Structure formats: structure tokens, C-alpha cells
Structure 1
Amino acid sequence: MNMKKKKKGGLLFLMSIVLGGFLGMFVGMFKADAESNGIMLDVKPLIPWLSAISLLLAVIILFLTFNFLKKSRKFHSLYREEMDDDLNETYYVQMYRNLEFGTIAFNIASVAISLSIFLSLNEVVILHTDHQTFSLSFLVFVLSLIAQKSLFKTIAIVRQFDLALFSTPKDVLDYINSYDEGERQANLEQSFRILFQLNQYVLPALYVFLIIISFLTGEIQLLAFLLVGAIHIYINVMQLPMVKRYFK
């Protein structure tokens, strides 16, 4: 089994190198062809579109958030009233399932709102375009605060746990510890997968992406490289407290 895993890992590594080589050749040919035809690669025209798309995405996902939270409360009421064991189990699962879906949807919407605000701010400050998207982004931000309040209220109803509006890591850890054992184990395994994939796949892929963007635009994306590098170092350095805590 270990030999198979090593062979699979080696094959994936080799495939990534080959794919990276082909991608680099393609980007080089594309850039040379664009320059030969006098085409200047400029990402500035994309900013208004990206900010508008982010804003629209945030609005859609926020409405999904409200829908999931509404369903969670509905199933919570049915769960408390139902006497049949089979139906009770169904309502129990749906109650928590919709709460977690609502939490995930809210987190994604928060990212989309932040992206929309920062991109639209670039429109106003750098491109000197209309500030309509920037204003709408703040209105959606207010909507997200309402969604956050609804989320925390639903958590208090379903999980019987009060989260502060500005929760500390300790508050969130206490909240996770309030889960049952199986749910805590599932969260632990998923957190490990996310951390591993970030460290081994996502962030290295971002380096490659930034190299391609730098090559196409002719400008080194220094700040972006530094930010990705800082995040990459941070997620590794932050594992030191765990080692110190458990291996005294």
C-alpha cells in the first residue's frame, strides 16, 4: 500500500512538471503572438467586470444563506415537536445540515463582498470610474451584517451556544468543542485536508499563476508574491504552538 502511494505521489509530481512545461510553452507562444500583432495585455478593463460579478455573487449567496438558516430553524421546530423516532432523526439531520450549509454560504458571501469592495475601490481611486458598484458593495455589506446576526441567532437556537459578533479564536474553539464526538472528528479530518491542500497544491499553484501573469503583463507581481509567500509561511509557522503544547 505504501509503495502504491509513493508511486502515485511520484506520478502526480512528474505530471505537474510536464503540465507546467507545456503551460509555460503555451504562455510564451501566446505572449509572442500578441506582441507581434501589437496587442498590449492590460488587466485594468477587467476590474469593473470582476467587481460587478463579485457583488452579484455575494447577493445570490447571501439569499441562499438566509434560505438555509430559515430551513434550519424550521426543522428545529419540527424536531422538538415530533414524537416519531424516524421522523425525529430526519429532522435532526436536516436541522444541522442546513445550519452548516448556511454557515458555509455566509463565509463565501463574506469573501465575495470583500473582493467586491476592494475591486470597486480600485475602480474609483485608480480608474476614476463611476462609484456605483462601490456604493452598492457597502449596501450588500450591511445585508451581510444582518445575515451574520441571523446566523448567530440560529446557532444559539439549534446548538444552544452563544457566539459573539466579533468572536475570538478561543470562542470558536469552544464552539467546535460543543459538537458531538463524531462531528468534531469530521471537522478535524476536513481541517487537515484543507491545510494540506493549501500547503501542497493551492499556494504553489498560485505561485505559478502569478509567474504567468507577470510574464504576460511584463510586470513582476511583487506584492502578490509577497502576500502569497507570507500566507504560505504563516500556515506552517502557526503549527509550532501545537508542537510546543503537546510535546513539552
Structure 2
Amino acid sequence: MKKKRGLLLFLAAVVFGGFLGMFIGIFKARAESHGIMLDVKVLIPWISAICLLIGFISILLTFNFLKKSRKFHSLYQEEMDDDLNETYYVQMYRNLEFGTIAFNIASVAILLAFFISVSEEIVLNRSNLTLSLSFLALVLVFNAQKYLYKTISIVRQFDLAFFSTPKDVLDYINSYDEGERQANLEQSFRILFQLNNYVLPGLYILIDLFSLLTGEIQLLALLLVGAIHIYINVMQLPMVKRYFK
């Protein structure tokens, strides 16, 4: 059964690759016949503005989820009914995790908006409002992080340093109960597997399509994605050395 499934996946990949190659060839011919080339400079302000908007929305969601987590924690501490206690317990941790996810998204989006805006300022030599708003958003990110870590201290009774090391975060994960640690382990494996087999290979294709539209080889983007792809595989070596001495 496994061999048949592997063969079907291989054949599907070959067929998909064939159709993709045919599509790219047709698209390239049509684009060249109409003289279509994408001007990235026009898109830069829009991309940074969209990232900034996502960042602000995520920060609002972060504070909202963390506030709810603290509220349910207070109710959990005061409630004597077992059924309600179970409900408050679940909601307390659920909102904490949602707040953590929203904070991580906000951090990435705002940093991306900031660096895109800085590049626009330096390379294209044009000022923009997004850069000033990015500084404000970074201040909000630091406040959101402080609020997040304080909420973690209240709910999980664990103090994380503001600039946490991987060891600090690992100790924090080890403070989870066994079921939660297992769920995190399984999700981490899924993320790593999908990055290695789907997301990063898909990025190669998207970068090639972008190169086709702009008429320039996006060498740096390909090298960065390739470096990340190699990194997540090489970083498996310490685990192998540690557990298979």
C-alpha cells in the first residue's frame, strides 16, 4: 500500500511538473509578445502598507486574547463549580495561545513593513508615511511582548526573560503538561515536514515566476530560500548526535 501511494505521489508530481512547465512556457511567450514586465517599485509601498495593516490588526487581537486569558484566569481561581472550572481552564489557555500566535504574526508583519520601508527610503530615495508608522508599531510590539510575558507569568506561573534564549523557551515548553507537550511536538513535526516538502519547494516556483514577470533572476531570494531549506535539515544533526551516541 505504501509503495503504491509513493508511486502515485511520484506520478502526480511528474504530471504537475509537466503542466506547470507548459503553463510557464505559454505565459512567458504571451508576456514577451505583449511586452509585459512587472515594475516592482510600484508595488513596494502597497506591500509595506499591507504588512503594517496586518501588524496593527494582529496587535489588537493580541491584547484582546490576552485580556480574555487573564479574565478567565481570575474566574478560574474564584469558581468552585467543577464544570465551570473546566470551561474557564480551557478558555484561559486557549486565549493565551491565540494571543501568542497573534503576537508572533504582528512581530513578523511589522518588522517586514519596517525593513521594506527602510529599503524604500535608502534605495529609492523617497520618504513615506509607512516608515514613521512602523516605528510606532515597533513600540506597540514591545509593549505587547511585555503584556504577553506578564500574562504567561500569571496564567502558567512561568517567568520568561524579555530577550529569551532557546533554552529559556525549551524550559517553558517543558513546563507544559504531558498532553500539551505531545500536541506541540506533533504540530512542530507537521510544520517542519510541510516546510521541507511543500512550502519551501513552492517558494522556488513562485520566485521563478516572479523572475519571469520582472525579467530579472531573483538570485538572492533563491539563495535565501535555499539556505533556509538546508538549515532546517542540517539542524537535525545535533538531535541525532545527542540521542544516538
> Within 5 Å, which residues of 2 pair with 1:14-33?
14-33=11-30
Residue aligning to 1:61: 58
Residue aligning to 2:131: 134
Residue aligning to 2:189: 192
Residue aligning to 2:244: 247
Residue aligning to 2:96: 99
Given candidates 157, 161, 179, the residue that maps to 2:176 is 179
Q: Distance in 1 between matches of 2:163 and 2:87?
A: 33
SS in structure 2 of the partner of residue 45 of structure 1: helix
Q: Distance in 2 between matches of 1:7 and 1:167?
A: 46
Cα deviation, 1:83-110, whole Å, max 9, x if unaligned, reads 0000000000000000000001100111
Residue aligning to 1:155: 152
TM-score by length of 2: 0.95
Residue aligning to 2:107: 110
The alpha carbon displacement at 1:20 in A equals 3.0
Structure 1: tracts of 5 or more residues without a match: none
Contact 1:120 1:131 in 2 (8 A): yes
Cα deviation, 1:138-164, whole Å, max 9, x if unaligned, reads 110110100000000000000000000
Q: Would you say how many aligned residue pairs link Structure 1 and Structure 2?
A: 245
Q: Distance in 2 between matches of 1:138 and 1:217?
A: 31
Contact 1:64 1:102 in 2 (8 A): yes
Q: Distance in 1 between matches of 2:167 and 2:42?
A: 43
SS in structure 1 of the partner of residue 188 of structure 2: helix
The alpha carbon displacement at 1:10 in A equals 3.2
The alpha carbon displacement at 1:70 in A equals 0.2
Q: Match for 2:27: what amino acid?
A: F
The alpha carbon displacement at 1:222 in A equals 1.1
The alpha carbon displacement at 1:120 in A equals 1.2
Q: Distance in 2 between matches of 1:131 and 1:187?
A: 41
Cα 1:189–1:171, aligned 2, differ >3 Å: closer, same or farther? Answer: same
Structure 2: tracts of 5 or more residues without a match: none
For the aligned residue pairs, the C-alpha RMSD in angstroms reads 1.3
Percent of counterpart pairs with the same letter?
78
Q: Which moved more, 1:205-214 or 1:67-76?
A: 205-214
Residue aligning to 2:229: 232
Q: Distance in 2 between matches of 1:13 and 1:72?
A: 46
TM-score by length of 1: 0.94
